[in-house]
Chains A and B, each alone.
Chain A
Amino acid sequence: MKIPLIYNLRSLRARPVSTLTTAFGMALVVGVFVAMMALSNGFRAALVSTGSPDNVMVLRKGADAEMSSGLSRDAANIIGGMPFVARGTDGRPLASPETFVVISYQRLGGGLANLVVRGVSPRALEVRKGVRIVEGRLFAPGSNEVIVGATMARRFANTGIGETLSFGGRDWTVVGRFTAEGSAFESEIWGENEQLMPVFRGQVFQSVTFRMQDPSAFDGIKPTLESDPRLYVDAHRERDFYENQSLFLGTILKFIAVFIAGVMAVGAVFGAINTMYAAVASRGPEIGVLLTLGFKPRHVLTSFVTEAILIAVLGGALGCLFTLPINGLLTSTTNWNSFSELAFAFRVTPGLLLQGLVFAAVMGVIGGFLPARRAARLPVTEALRQA
């Protein structure tokens, strides 16, 4: 028969201070782990959700970012005319040839930030399903109107509807504010491609993004585009393109999370080992009684490991609680592929919290094992004689 769990719970309550300090140590470790992972996940999610798996993004061959790409008007027309490009209700292709520039702009609260200004086709909202105008309206074709991303609007001045932004030597009226499911687009300014093109780089688009008629046909579409003699392009699934952009910083952030949490965990595990050794040492007679009553050494072992896990999970749960308030908190960094500011939110997901708890439990097992083994190996007579 196993030693009932209530025994462990009561034991923990008998030593509240050391239980709580150990649990608190674990809580801090788990808290830091979850917070860092939330940062890393938020960053990745913002970039990955930017791309849709149904869309194809075409860049000049060899260009690894929109900024270094260039496509002529002819190329854009050829791509738009391809049979695998989805059509709108009016029968015209769902394609958006886009210009992409990064400008320096004064941030609210001082300092220059690099902002993406994207010139899109008026059809861009049909091509990109996630983008929604939440206030105002889309820019009118042929006008110097722009719409601003929701997070960008919160961080920069003059982004209210009806206000004027000046960049590229012209003034632009803000007529709408859009959301894009928390993706990188929300950090951008969008205007009409035909208006923005001449202002910055002359007669060239940076990319063409189109919706596929059949998203499963990408493997055929890619070689068709890339081998077309009239074009000199690379085709990427839009989602993969943005996922690639998140790799560099995303990997660094994940590494930092694991490194810091790992090192802290070593310290916390040592703390747990200490606590459990002390628990075992002071409970010699108790263990002796348990063994005399007929509980097997392995039951004692499981019981003490369980106790360590209980402490750890208590700490883990506490740590997860600490991190809940940061969920959704907005922060920003730079997307180094475009040198532009990217705002994103910490993402504390249920899966991540579960990871935190599992992490805590593992620390508990490691911390509890050695002391528990000592407890299990105590000779009955000696244990009873103690104290």
Chain B
Amino acid sequence: MKFARLVWANLWRRKGRTVLTLLSVAVAMFLFATLRSVLTTLAASEQVGSESRLVTRSAIGITFPLPEAYAGRLAATDGVSAVSWANWFGGIYINSQNFFAQFAVDADTYFPMYPEVRMPPEQLAAFMQERTAVVAGKGLMERFGWQLGQTITLQGTIFPGDWDFTIRAVYVPDNPSFGDENFFFHYDYLLERTGRFVTPGWFILRLGDPSQAAAVSARIDEQFKNSRAPTKTETERAFQAGFVTMWGNVAFLVRAIGTAVFFAILLVAANTMMMAARERVHEVAVMKTLGFGDGLLSALVLVEAVLITGVGGLLGIAGARLLFGATRALSSILPGFAVAWSTVAFGIAIAIGLGLASGAVPAWQAARLSVVQALRRVA
């Protein structure tokens, strides 16, 4: 590229301006990467639920428990190969700002149901042997600086009183969207402490044949339809997706903001390119006189614009990826929050598009510039 030097020299003609434009593109693309990652993370968390597992909960509402006796009847239902259950505990650790999810689970059946929850077998064995033992996520351990073997006290809200737990196992999820800030303890402990005043919050079922999900769900709900506790059964994925939609129309919000950011930065970049072009009217006229073609001159302007926005975009997106990779800034609210490669690619494409769009007007002007008039014009 024999013109590379020309483009390079033009870029640095006004250092301040080039750097500022580059930086504003960088912050905008940082924001873009963050926002899009919220969407991709939410979409991924809808996927965390398996299609081969069903969740059966009360049809009345998510907060209504189901009778424990359902476990047997569910297990006996055609197409169901395993049954487990869990309960939401909702305890407070020191104060309510330290929110994390706590589940009372039927330990014998729960962990076999979730092969994606990985922990050392000896830790799992230790957990199984102790009634007040807890399996905590790695992220949770780091968040509060907990150690294996430490005793944690939670203040119950649904189940009053102070509850002591001992951390016996630490898990790492295979799938980051599963979240590494969960806290699992024995359902039996809950049962015992509350004087058997508790029943399962929901059941998790494994399907023999995942393609039968709809039929099995219907069969289960039909079975309990006229009982005192009717059920609502759906795939785990659908169940999770239901929670995601509870946040409201996040996708719309993110897109609206993203569009506003894009146009705000487009204006900044376009303004810069137009300023640069205005300064160089004379020069372009001279170059035309020397025999530079219209197309080439346009291309030079475009290349310059794309270089600024491309490098800026790369900086912003790489910055976001590194920042969110190194810190756990958003992962308490959104488990598994990460900047996906698709976001990186998409962001770079946008940055290049931004460059082309911002350079379009000056490039067009350069091409149709009338040499005589430009040279005559007094700057």
Give A contacts to B, CB under 8 Å.
17-18, 21-22, 24-25, 28-29, 31-32, 35-36, 39, 60-65, 67-68, 101-104, 111-112, 114, 167-168, 200, 248, 252, 260, 263-264, 266-268, 270-271, 273-275, 277-278, 331-334, 339, 341, 387
Contacts and interface: CB of A to CB of B under 8 A. Distances in A.
B60 A278 contact: no
A22 B249 CA distance: 31
A104 B275 contact: no
A334 B264 contact: no
A277 B260 CA distance: 25
Contacts of A60: 160
Given A103-B60, A168-B60, A267 B257 contact: no
Given A21-B271, A25-B264, A260 B257 contact: yes
Give the interface centre of B256, B257, B268 by most chain A CB atoms within 10 Å. B268
A114 B160 contact: no
Contacts of B20: 270-271, 273-274
5 contacts: A60-B160, A62-B157, A63-B157, A263-B31, A331-B248
Nearest to A252: B333
A21 B253 CA distance: 24
A264 B61 contact: no
Given A29-B264, A332-B248, A267 B24 contact: yes
Contacts of A65: 157
A273 B25 CA distance: 14
Given A29-B264, A334-B248, 13 more contacts: A25-B265, A25-B267, A62-B155, A62-B157, A64-B96, A101-B64, A103-B61, A264-B31, A266-B23, A268-B24, A277-B14, A277-B16, A387-B379
Contacts of A24: 263-264, 267
B257 A32 contact: yes
Nearest to A334: B246
A305 B179 CA distance: 50
B263 A114 contact: no
Contacts of B248: 331-334
Contact of B271 (A22, A39, A103): A22
Interface in B185-214: none
Contacts, number: 146
B268 A271 contact: yes
A278 B275 contact: yes
Interface in B269-303: 270-272, 274-275
B67 interface: no
Contacts of B155: 62
A101 B257 contact: no
User: Would you list the 9 A-B pairs with minimal beta carbon distance, nearest first?
Assistant: A271-B268, A267-B24, A270-B24, A333-B248, A28-B264, A334-B246, A68-B158, A270-B20, A103-B61
A167 to B, nearest CB: 7
A274 B275 contact: yes
B99 A270 contact: no
A interface, by DSSP: helix, strand, loop or mixed?
Answer: helix
A64 B93 CA distance: 13
Interface in B1-26: 14, 16-17, 20-21, 23-25
A101 B61 contact: yes
Given A18-B274, A62-B161, A334-B246, A274 B63 contact: no
B351 to A, nearest CB: 13
Given A267-B24, A333-B248, A339-B63, A275 B160 contact: no
Give the interface centre of B23, B31, B157 by most chain A CB atoms within 10 Å. B157
B17 A277 contact: yes
B99 A248 contact: yes
Nearest to A248: B99
A111 B246 CA distance: 10
Give the interface centre of A252, A266, A341, A387 by most chain B CB atoms within 10 Å. A266
Contact of A21 (B90, B249, B267): B267
Given A21-B267, A267-B28, A28 B59 contact: no
Given A25-B267, A28-B260, A273-B20, A111 B160 contact: no
A147 B182 CA distance: 40
Contacts of A114: 61-62, 246
B265 A267 contact: yes
Nearest to A103: B61
A271 B21 CA distance: 7
